[in-house]
Chains A and B, each alone.
Chain A
Amino acid sequence: MKNHPIRGGVHPRYWKELASGQPIAAFPLPARLSLPLQQHVGAAAIPLVEPGQRVRKGERIALAPGAMSAPLHAPTSGVVHAIEEITAAHASGLPQLAIVIDSDGLDEWAELPAPLADPFAAPPEEIVRRVAEAGIVGQGGAVFPTAVKLGMGKQYRLDTLLLNGAECEPYITSDDRVMREHAAEVIDGARIMAHALGVAKIIIAIKKNKPEAIAIMREAARAFAGIEVVGVKIQYPIGYAQYLTQAVTGRETPAGRRNAEVGVVVQNVATALAVQRAVRHGVPLISRVVTVTGTAVSRAGNFEVPIGTPVAELIAHCGGYRARPRFLVNGGPMMGFQLPDENVPVVKGCVGIVALAEEETARQPEQACIRCGTCMDVCPIGLPPVEMAQLIRKDRLDDAARLGVGDCIACGSCAWACPSHIPLVQYFNHANGALWTADRQQRKNERLRQLAEARSARLEAARQERLAAQAARKARAAAPRQEISE
């Protein structure tokens, strides 16, 4: 199947060879795990446990307050140490509430939901319910609640499940290894998701720099009708859902619309594996495959890591640092963020930890923009990064919004390619954050105004009522006299 053309993009050095040869290894159980209540898009989970309480592996420890959220499960058995603020696995490094569990080393399972013997006989709602209960969120890093996406078959007319095995980011090999080692489960998970969505067609898109994964997945998919494995061209950021959809199906998602509105739901291959485990075995999302790589780390590898494991333990398990890392990045070097410190935990959306040595980053001090237009050529969205950054520098955020800064996907292609090394992505992230804050403030003002008006109307009504009552009393007081006078 031929790829449809997509705009822009860049060709970074991929460095996949550091870890792609390493099979997924089990990770030793850490002594303490920290599970932030917010590891997903949507509302934070609400703790169901108290300090001192014993929990067992797979037991639900926090519930989702609504559909747009995800519950948490204990990754191992142990005792809840505390529910306290820890440094968030977030660029800001601000504190974030987390359930901290001291492992007891027994790794004793809780009673899990009974496996679904034949998921394809079950109604789609049952699959969605089980996926929601398992706390599964998009494993590619977007951490969107998977159950919400699987429920979209009800809302929109769909025809394709697009399984994203592009793994676009340099360095990261977790999806590659998942496809190579768990091909049958991934395909099973994809079929279960397709059943939940009510679509007959599954396309598995894998970037052509993973020939082994393509071959293995083709082989595993052969037994089933309606599954196609497609090699996509080596171009960053082709793994971005809207792009992958365009490259594979030729459909372009209109701005402000969901991908599902063009009939395609995109799910990551690791998500398919998590769905398969939840539906077939009742196992919730308590671990994930994480790549630990970068030339600054002694031995790169891929590990099945319990959620909540401190990053420091991953680094230690890989033999520590070979060289002082210039950047310690959560996720890939293009869209990942710098970890505030090594004690933050691995969260549900963590595809890898990359320790970059100085010479790998090729970062230079910022220079003046020479308007070469490279950023415009490479922007996959077709935005003018040079002009937007210029406006944002002068705090003209509304003008930047008119040029389309809100459509920026922060893929980093422009900043990667900029010969003047201008931190373009940071300008756009700043602008979008500030615009969002201003918009929220505006809406709050609107609400305050309504409340203030409602209150004054209420007070006025009460006053009128009082006046009317007074008048009535006066009238009643006057009335008998009239009778007498008559």
Chain B
Amino acid sequence: MKTTLQSGPFAHADHRVDRTMLTVLLALLPATLFNLWLFGLPAILLFACTLGAALGFEALWLAATGRDARAGLADGSAAITGWLLALSLPPWAPWWLGVLGAFIAIVIAKHAYGGLGQNLFNPAMVARVALLVSFPVIMTAWVAPQPLFTERAASVAQSFAVLGQGVPDTMVSATPLGHVKTELSRALPASQSAADAPALPDLLLGRRAGSMGETSVLLILAGGLFLLWRRVITWHIPVALLGSLFAAAQLASLADPARYTDGLFHLLTGASFLGAFFIATDYVTSPMSPRGKLIYGAGCGFLTWAIRSYAGYPEGMAFAVLLMNALTPIIDQYTRPRVFGRQRNGEPLPLRPF
């Protein structure tokens, strides 16, 4: 019995990339289904376009570079990218926005960097930000929930019209964060405009205008807890992110309630939970050590608050994540664990009397 040389270990954990990715998709499923119902047929069509385009570009790229497209698609990473991108778009955006976003995410943000595992920035967020700065009007044209099977549900004809042209001007609605920002620019205090936001139960369930990923806080949280339970992610990034976002907002709001909304408002509006559990925790673009994750998560949370409060855009999660992505290599470098028998600086431990 002559064998080819293989190194151990000869046993292996039942861990596989494709299963991990599948778990993430499973965690996103409840929130996604709820939102597809909430925003109706136009949202379903856009979701399908975006996801399909992401998978299509992945397959095309792999085929064009001479790799096995089926094996590449099987790892599930392109599906997650397309899925998250679709969740971060306005639900009634035109079809080409999703397709263009998928192109940016898959081809430019992922494969131009060398493919899976090599990209510095979160592909879905690169696409979202690129679309946001290129098409600011379309990317902030939100719509109030129009649930399926209700009298407000979009008809088939209307749905295809939306898919072609986007939200009709008459139906454009603002997110709570956007509303506060607009009112502040009209010198209306934040404490007053924040009160216009939907009631707490509606915010938790997601009955408000916004992207599909941000509205239903409870279902996203449930998905995140599922990922924690399945040990796909650790608590460090979500806790640090939400904690620092809440702390920054709460402190600022205590200091100047007219200018700043409070911590709870920041947590429950916008894409805080989607970002904390599903975007910032992307393996490829986040630090690896627990300490690094805490620093990174805290950075994401604080930057999100700062961008929401001071920058021109109402939502800052995508920008914050991209900025912290850029810092990931350096965070990784400075948060490596201490090596057994060595001090933090790499020198051997001194011999201690016993």
On whether A and B touch (CB less than 8 Å), the answer reads yes
On A, residues with C-beta under 8 Å from B are: 7, 10, 12-13, 91-93, 159, 170, 242, 251-257, 261-263, 326-329, 333-342, 354, 356, 360-364, 367-374, 376, 379-384, 386-387, 403-404, 407, 412, 415-421, 423, 425-426, 429
A242 to B340, CA, bound (A): 9
Q: Does B354 contact A (CB under 8 A)?
A: yes
Q: Does B186 contact A (CB under 8 A)?
A: no
A407 to B12, CA, bound (A): 23
B351 touches A261 (CB 8 A): yes
Contacts A242-B340, A254-B351; A415 near B115 (Cβ below 8 A): no
* Set of chain B residues within 8 Å of A380, measured between Cβ atoms: 340
- Residue pairs across A and B with Cβ atoms less than 8 A apart, 26 shown, are A12-B13, A251-B352, A252-B349, A254-B341, A255-B339, A327-B10, A329-B8, A329-B10, A335-B8, A338-B10, A341-B3, A342-B1, A361-B10, A361-B12, A368-B116, A370-B20, A370-B77, A373-B283, A373-B287, A376-B289, A382-B340, A416-B11, A417-B15, A421-B12, A421-B16, A423-B7
Query: Distance (Å) between the CB of A370 and the closest chain B CB?
Result: 5
A266 to B3, CA, bound (A): 35
B348 touches A256 (CB 8 A): yes
Q: Does B117 contact A (CB under 8 A)?
A: yes
Contact of B337 among A257, A335, A382, A423 (CB under 8 A): A382
Chain B CB count within 10 A is highest, among A10, A341, A384, for A384
* Set of chain B residues within 8 Å of A416, measured between Cβ atoms: 9, 11-13
Chain B CB count within 10 A is highest, among A261, A327, A368, for A368
* Set of chain B residues within 8 Å of A419, measured between Cβ atoms: 15-17, 19-20
Contact of B117 among A326, A333, A369 (CB under 8 A): A369
Q: Does B170 contact A (CB under 8 A)?
A: no
* Set of chain B residues within 8 Å of A159, measured between Cβ atoms: 354
* Set of chain A residues within 8 Å of B6, measured between Cβ atoms: 327, 338, 423
Q: Does B152 contact A (CB under 8 A)?
A: no
Q: How many residues of B contact A (CB 8 A)?
A: 44
Residue of B nearest to A381 (CB): B340
A373 to B342, CA, bound (A): 21
Contact of A252 among B1, B13, B340 (CB under 8 A): B340
A253 to B6, CA, bound (A): 32
In B292-339, which residues have CB < 8 Å from any A CB? 332, 336-339
* Set of chain A residues within 8 Å of B342, measured between Cβ atoms: 254-255, 404, 407
Residue of A nearest to B342 (CB): A255
A257 touches B341 (CB 8 A): yes
Residue of B nearest to A428 (CB): B7
Query: Distance (Å) between the CB of A371 and the closest chain B CB?
Result: 5
A252 to B20, CA, bound (A): 35
Query: Distance (Å) between the CB of A56 and the closest chain B CB?
Result: 34
B288 touches A404 (CB 8 A): no
A371 touches B117 (CB 8 A): yes
A394 to B108, CA, bound (A): 24
* Set of chain A residues within 8 Å of B346, measured between Cβ atoms: 404
A381 touches B14 (CB 8 A): no
Contacts A415-B9, A416-B11; A371 near B17 (Cβ below 8 A): no
Contact of A412 among B9, B115, B332 (CB under 8 A): B9
In B222-271, which residues have CB < 8 Å from any A CB? none
Chain A CB count within 10 A is highest, among B6, B9, B332, B342, for B9
Contact of B341 among A253, A336, A379, A417 (CB under 8 A): A253
A255 touches B340 (CB 8 A): yes
A368 touches B10 (CB 8 A): no
Residue of B nearest to A411 (CB): B9
Contact of B16 among A364, A376, A404, A412 (CB under 8 A): A364
Residue of A nearest to B349 (CB): A254
Query: Distance (Å) between the CB of B21 and the closest chain A CB?
Result: 9
Contacts A262-B354, A371-B288; A362 near B14 (Cβ below 8 A): yes
* Set of chain B residues within 8 Å of A356, measured between Cβ atoms: 10-11
* Set of chain A residues within 8 Å of B354, measured between Cβ atoms: 159, 251, 262-263
Closest 8 CB pairs of A and B: A373-B288, A426-B7, A412-B9, A255-B341, A382-B337, A254-B349, A419-B15, A333-B11
Chain B CB count within 10 A is highest, among A338, A370, A421, A425, for A370
A333 touches B1 (CB 8 A): no
Task: Kindly list 6 other residue pairs between chains A and B, CB separation below 8 angstroms, not including A91-B5, A340-B3.
Answer: A12-B11, A261-B351, A334-B11, A338-B6, A383-B337, A387-B332
A115 to B266, CA, bound (A): 81
A337 to B351, CA, bound (A): 34
B13 touches A10 (CB 8 A): yes
B339 touches A382 (CB 8 A): yes
Q: Does B350 contact A (CB under 8 A)?
A: yes
B348 touches A254 (CB 8 A): yes
Residue of B nearest to A170 (CB): B11
